[in-house]
Amino acid sequence: MTEWALPLVLRLERDDPPLRTDALEAAARAVLLLLTDGRPEWADAIAEWDAHRIRKVIRRARGAHWRRAHDVDGLDVVHRGAQVYVCPPVPVDAWPPDLARLQVGGTNLEPDGPAPPPSGAPLILLSPHAQMSTGKAMAQAGHAAQLGHRALSAAARAAWQAAGFPLAVRDATPAQWAGALDAGAVAVADGGFTEVAPGTVTAAFVPPAVRRSPRARSVDGAAGDDPAGG
């Protein structure tokens, strides 16, 4: 069986890197925008990938390499100071050359101390128990957004899409993480291809209804004030 991966390219200019939080949120939104784009020429690849392992690979580019990446069909997603280019899924052994030459490593960005997440939007939490590079965390945020989107009702998905997929991604404190999982957040168990062991729970999708749950009172707390790093 052919294994597929979703390519995401982070624009990482030497003199003007994005904030880490912006990059994480851009990746999550890019996944959702691709899934719901509706372009018929992408439908088969998306359906094949979405039905199996939802593997994602983050690469970085700047300058001419960033421009050449756009020779591959895809969507350019701008989220505050971050730009992510997302392409339809590709077989893992048949990457387009303009993407295959891009570097996977070197995507680490320093934690930037984001504000508390806005109310009313889904929250993606990154585990305080898994050390991850920024690229790995971007992939996990994308997994959480995708699984969370699946878990919502059709009406909730439509409303979220109509609003432009607002969301927040934050590093969780141990208390926030435990509260989210206890309240029923949608958890991501990693496949273990890179950085963490197979089955490691790396991220969680917390929809607004769960954020408001009494069992999840500790989730919003001071999210972002005590970053777990990675």
Q: Are residues 94 and 148 in the same domain?
A: no
Q: Are residues 90 and 141 in the same domain?
A: no
Q: Are residues 136 and 206 in the same domain?
A: yes
Distance CA 78, CA 82 (A): 6
Q: Are residues 156 and 194 in the same domain?
A: yes
**Which long-range contacts link 218-221 to residues 24+ away (Cβ below 8 Å)?**
218/175, 218/176, 218/178, 218/179, 219/123, 219/125, 219/176, 219/179, 219/180, 219/183, 219/185, 220/116, 220/117, 220/119, 220/123, 220/176, 221/173, 221/175, 221/176
- Position 227 pLDDT exceeds 70: no
Q: Are residues 80 and 128 in the same domain?
A: no
Token match 């701008």: residue?
Answer: 78
Q: Residue 138's domain is classified under what CATH number? A: 3.40.1490.10
**pLDDT score, position 34:** 98
Residue 137 counted as domain residue: yes
Q: Are residues 138 and 88 in the same domain?
A: no
Helices of type H across the chain: 20-35, 40-50, 63-69, 97-100, 134-151, 154-162, 174-182, 208-211, 217-220
**pLDDT score, position 228:** 26
**pLDDT score, position 229:** 27
- 148-170 pLDDT tens trace: 999 999 999 999 999 999 999 99
Q: Are residues 86 and 134 in the same domain?
A: no
**Total domain count for the chain?**
2
Residue 149 counted as domain residue: yes
Q: Are residues 62 and 144 in the same domain?
A: no
**pTM for the model:** 0.92
Give the domain-ending residue among 100, 134, 158. Answer: 100
Residue 117 counted as domain residue: no
Q: Are residues 130 and 92 in the same domain?
A: no
Q: Taking residues 88-110, what's their average pLDDT?
A: 94
Query: Do the Cβ atoms of 196 and 132 come closer than 8 Å?
Result: yes
**pLDDT score, position 221:** 53
Q: What band does 210 get if pLDDT is binned at 50, 70 and 90?
A: confident
% of the chain with per-residue pLDDT over 90: 79
Of the ranges 58-67, 105-114, 139-148, 151-160, which one carries the lowest mean pLDDT score?
Answer: 105-114
Q: Taking residues 55-72, what's their average pLDDT?
A: 97
Residue 65 counted as domain residue: yes
Q: Are residues 73 and 153 in the same domain?
A: no
Q: What band does 214 get if pLDDT is binned at 50, 70 and 90?
A: low
Q: Are residues 96 and 182 in the same domain?
A: no
Residue 105 counted as domain residue: no
Q: Which domain holds residue 172?
A: 123-220
Residue 108 counted as domain residue: no
- 165-184 pLDDT tens trace: 999 999 999 999 999 999 99
Higher-scoring residue by pLDDT: 96, 190 = 96
Of the ranges 80-94, 160-174, 189-203, which one carries the lowest mean pLDDT score?
Answer: 189-203
Q: Are residues 80 and 127 in the same domain?
A: no
Higher-scoring residue by pLDDT: 122, 2 = 122
Give the domain-ending residue among 68, 100, 132. Answer: 100
Residue 212 counted as domain residue: yes
Give the domain-ending residue among 48, 65, 100. Answer: 100
Residue 88 counted as domain residue: yes
Q: What is the mean pLDDT of the chain?
A: 91
Of the ranges 92-101, 199-208, 209-218, which one carries the lowest mean pLDDT score?
Answer: 209-218
